[in-house]
Amino acid sequence: MEGVSSFKLIQRLLPNTPITIADKDENVLDKINFRTEGAVQTILGEGYISNLDDYDIILKSPGIPNGLLTDKVDKNKITSQTDLFLRLFATNTTGVTGTKGKSTTSSLIKHILSNYYNDVFFVGNIGVPPFDMIERIGRQSRIVFELSSHQLENISIAPHIAIILNLYQEHLDHYGDFNNYQLAKFNITKFQSKNDWLIYNADDDFIKQKKFIRNTLQFSSERKVPFGAFLSKRGEVVFNDGSQNSVFVFNNRLNLPGNHNLMNIMATVCACKLLKVPDEIISESIREFKGLEHRLEYVGKFSKILFYNDSIATIPEATIEAVKALKIVDTLILGGKDRGIDYKKLAVFLADSKISNLIYLGEAGKRIFDEMKYLGLSKNKRYFQISNFGDIKSIVKQHTKPKHICLLSPAASSYDMFRNFEERGEAYKEIVRNI
């Protein structure tokens, strides 16, 4: 998506500039039905990065690991949509990153801002390349930018307001180890100026050990923080700016269940307070927010079974939080592509849970099952290892208790069977509707 977006903008603004498209897939242009015009060259196939240093500027798509270009390209030539966009609009931008919760938090901030301001844009990892919006954005526009670790790799300037939600093991196949992944995430504050703001999770072990020199706001569900958002003894969200408190009551969070969403809400409150949104607008907007597809999405009740789609859950921690939030999960669908993530914590949690039926898919599913087998399989649970996604239908229908939940929350990537987590979620919902 970013590659197509970059190409179209450059060709529109600089029609006489030579452009080359480089991609490992020889058939990529046919697959996306993309036709080039003008003086455009292509380097397609295995040698697509061989001669990149011959070019003046290289716009790297987020999915290309930096390690592939080491020793092949002058790193000063490498840039990205994210970096070029932020050079223009960093002061207008609230950037949101973290392993989980980025889409929900950034969507929630955008929803609240749009209820108070007229000129609001939402770009980034949510599925909107920033270049698609760049010609519509003005100097007074407010921008919410969902930022993946990949998008943060090659930046030299950061958003005026940056949010780090959490850090868990993710994308280890891309980064090699957890430390490199963390370093990419921390670029969101590394390149901030002294006048910028960082909002961060004070409960996260990997984040709270850092010493930040920016203006900071914290959010915590475990303790009172000096500046930022925390929970009162009655469960209210309290925002403390150092001089006075604002109190927000969210007792009925049907569309944003669970502690993880409460953390997303607190981060959102911090950002919106910095952006001078009135408390009543924040409260009302959060209460009316509908939640996002594939994120603890209620699909419906079929054959007396409640179905939830949490296909976005690609790490163990997300699956654990989903089960905790829904409480009456009887059948859980796990697995997908194995990216080397540690599943011991998930296995222990599932072994102690009241879940009756565990369905395992793909190499990741096999590894989760092996971890549970090592702990000792419970006689109170049923275990199903399947290779065909469609096979979940008969298992779910036959074994799930009435008035209980069947949950897709895989704790793994979808790329072994599907193009992305959205396609996996849609496949699940189609099966559910036919039960």
Q: Residue 124: which H helix or E strand, with range?
A: strand 120-124
**Contact status, residue 410 vs residue 336, Cβ threshold 8 Å:** yes
The whole-number mean pLDDT for each consecutive block of 10 residues of the chain, a chain of 435 residues, reads: 91 90 92 81 91 92 86 90 96 96 95 97 93 94 96 94 91 78 92 95 89 89 94 93 89 80 96 97 93 89 95 93 93 94 95 97 96 93 96 96 97 92 96 93
- Three-state DSSP class for 182? helix
94-116+148-288 and 297-433 agree in CATH topology: no
For residues 114 and 285, what is the distance between their CA atoms, to the nearest angstrom? 10
* First-residue to last-residue Cα distance in the chain: 35
What pLDDT was estimated at residue 413? 93
For 121, 331, 427, the CA distances from 305, given in Å and listed in that order, are: 39, 10, 18
Q: How far apart are CA 111 and CA 65, in angstroms?
A: 33
Q: Give the count of beta carbons closer than 10 Å to the beta carbon of residue 343.
A: 24
332, burial (CB in 10 Å: exposed 0-12, middle 13-18, buried 19+): buried
Q: Which SS3 state, helix, strand or coil, does residue 365 take?
A: helix
Which residue, among 161, 157, 162, 159, has the nearest Cα to 191 in the 3D structure?
Answer: 157
What are the residue boundaries of the structural domains of the chain, listed by start? 2-79, 94-116+148-288, 297-433
Alpha-carbon radius of gyration of the chain: 23
Question: Which class in CATH covers the domain with range 297-433?
Answer: alpha beta
Return the pLDDT at 420. Answer: 92
User: What is the number of other CB atoms lying within 10 angstroms of the CB of residue 409?
Assistant: 25
Query: What pLDDT does 36 receive?
Result: 78
pLDDT of residue 31: 85
The Cα–Cα gap between 389 and 417 comes to: 8
Question: How many angstroms separate the CA atoms of 320 and 346, rounded?
Answer: 7
Across the strands, what pairs with 44? Answer: 23
Which residues, including other chains, have CB under 8 Å from residue 278's CB and lie 6 or more apart?
116
Nearest CA to 42 out of 22, 67, 62 is that of: 22
The whole-number pLDDT of residue 72 equals 87
Q: Do 279 and 272 touch, CB atoms closer than 8 A?
A: no
- Amino acid identity, residue 72? K
Task: Give the Cα separation of 107 and 146 in Å (integer).
Answer: 9
Structure pTM?
A: 0.82
Q: CA 332: distance to chain centroid?
A: 21
CA distance 345 to 274: 37
Query: Cα–Cα distance between 149 and 178 in angstroms, integer?
Result: 12
Residue type, 302: F
The topology (CATH level 3) of 94-116+148-288 is UDP-N-acetylmuramoyl-L-alanine:D-glutamate ligase (3.40.1190)
**Which parts of 179-328 are beta strand (E)?**
197-201, 215-220, 228-231, 237-240, 245-248, 297-302, 305-309
